[in-house]
Amino acid sequence: METSVTVKMRGTTRRMLPNERTTRDVVAAAPGVVEGLIVAPDRECARPLVEFLRAEGVNVQVVNATELGFEEALLHRPNVVLIDERISKAGGVDLCERLKANTRTHFLPVILFAQGKQSDMLRLDALAAGADALFSPSTSKEERRARLWALLRSQAIFRKFDGKREAQGNAICNKRRWVRGLVHDIQNSLGAIQANFEYIAQQPDTRDKKLRDEFEECVQDTRATFREMVRNLRTVLEFERFEAGDVALKEGKILLSDVCQVVASSLAHMASDANKEIVVEYASYSLPVQGDPNYLKEAVTNLANFVLRQTENQRCFLSASSEAGIARLQVHGDKHQIEVAAREGIFDPYGGHLNEKPARAAHRVGLALAKVIVEVHHGSIWVEDTPSAGTAFVIEFPSHWSRGQRSSG
């Protein structure tokens, strides 16, 4: 059952319409703020339109030419546009037609104000141009208010769903670009493998020391390419499993210092090949955390891989510590600084936050997977600068939580 609500504005008391109650807080970005644009030839013509909108609590912007009205609507996209018929020889119908024909303003409610008795020709022209309403001096105040708030409500709903469609469209475009990047990476890897096999096939005699050294280097390079490709595909599949909630975590007590040691050992060969070093630092005592050791190792490995891939870094530091019931881990290099503009989207798997350097699609997913793993263990992860060193990935875990908190989705 609808209840009547009254409001007092400018010393007068009036009943609030149902549409007004449900629209006022959703029609604009700032709650309770509605923006109106009035297009009238002069201040005197604009006065009754201004008084009408202000009486409804609508902020008003006034312009005195159709071209200015179109530019204002295009730039700021108000919640409603009111046009005085005296603004042009066409009775404002020309401006209405332009607004409705433009993809950026076609959804704006447009109301034409006829100062005299409405002619059938003006009404037909207004309807043909797409006008949402046509008011005249004979239109009652109640009808004007009812139509205004009905139009504002429809426009608010349209903007809401249009925003969702735009966000979904952007997400689809980003994923398409990411898929193209992943396919391109796999194609390059397969091309490198094919070239190595062709070289091996052309070297049947490896008794010559120089040829044997080149042959062994080719074999090692092929193995490394295979390992990288398999790891990238596994990272993508693991991320999709977490996104789908199709992951079962094991429960156990883990020391982050032990995770660091395991990661350093697994990446030692890759670091050595790149003439880099992994340094593990930890206090004599650290708090254990609860979680899945394999997935926590996967998260730290992905972060360390990112650090090692930055050409400026010669060392990768894995530093574990504990304080006030919180287990903390830092992963950082000795030089590379992540640009401030790139930090906001650093964990976005489909974004272009690594565009400043050649980056593989799977590498971006590796950072996203690390973030998902940390969060599913009730931890938090962020990026911060370290004194006299590179930018660090910082992870914090509570030392314990109740079993009921455990979740993988």
Q: Give the C-alpha distances (Å, rounded to integers) separating 34 from 202, 259, 274.
A: 75, 55, 60
In this prediction, residue 356 carries a pLDDT of 40
Q: Do domains 5-166 and 253-405 have the same CATH topology?
A: no
Q: In whole angstroms, how far apart are CA 42 and each of 83, 168, 205, 289?
A: 12, 43, 94, 71
Q: Where are the domains of the chain?
A: 5-166, 178-243, 253-405
Evaluated on CA atoms 83, 88, 92, 98, the torsion sign reads negative
**Distance of alpha carbon 373 from the chain centroid:** 20
pLDDT at 174 over 50: yes
pLDDT at 224: 74
Topology of domain 5-166 in CATH is: Rossmann fold (3.40.50)
pLDDT band at 403 (very low <50, low <70, confident <90, very high): very low
What's the start-to-end Cα distance of the chain, in Å?
40
Instruction: List, for residues 282-325, the tens digit of each pLDDT value.
Output: 877 778 888 899 999 999 999 999 999 888 999 999 999 988 88
pLDDT at 355: 45
Binning pLDDT at 50, 70 and 90, where does residue 409 land? very low
Is 21 exposed, middle or buried, given 0-12, 13-18 or 19+ CB atoms closer than 10 A?
middle
pLDDT bracket for residue 66 (50, 70, 90): very high
Position 227: which residue type? Answer: R
Contact 37/81 with Cβ under 8 angstroms? yes
pLDDT digits (tens, 9 = 90+) for 9-34: 445 555 555 555 555 555 554 445 78
Q: Please name which of 189, 186, 188, 218 lies closest in space to residue 202, comparing C-alpha atoms.
A: 218
Q: Give the 3-state secondary structure percentages of the chain, helix then strand then coil, rounded to 5.
A: 50, 20, 30
Residue 200 has pLDDT above 90, yes or no: no
Q: What is the pLDDT of residue 325?
A: 85
Which residues have a Cβ under 8 Å from the Cβ of 405 and sit 6 or more positions away?
378
Structure tokens at 388: 């006299």
pTM of the model: 0.52
Find all residues with CB under 8 Å of 265, minimum gap 6, and list them: none
Angstrom distances, CA of residue 221 to CA of 39, 54, 273, 318, 324? 70, 73, 11, 27, 46
Mean confidence (pLDDT) of the chain: 80
Give the pLDDT score at 36: 93
The rounded distance, in Å, linking the Cα atoms of 98 and 150 is 23
Q: Which class does domain 253-405 fall in?
A: alpha beta
Core vs surface per residue 214-250: b (16+ CB within 10 A) or e: ebeebeebbeebeebbeebeebbebbeebeeeebebe
> How far is 76 from 33, CA to CA, in rounded Å?
14
Asked if 111 contacts 82 with a C-beta cutoff of 8 angstroms, the reply is: yes
Residue 5's pLDDT band (boundaries 50, 70, 90)?
Answer: very low
In this structure, the dihedral spanned by the alpha carbons of residues 77, 81, 83 and 87, taken in order and rounded to 10 degrees, is -10
Residue with tokens 């309807």: 127
Contacts of 394 (CB under 8 A, 6+ apart): 328, 329, 330, 381, 382, 383, 384
User: Which pLDDT band, with edges at 50, 70 and 90, does 358 fall under?
Assistant: very low
Whole-angstrom Cα distance, residue 332 to residue 393?
6
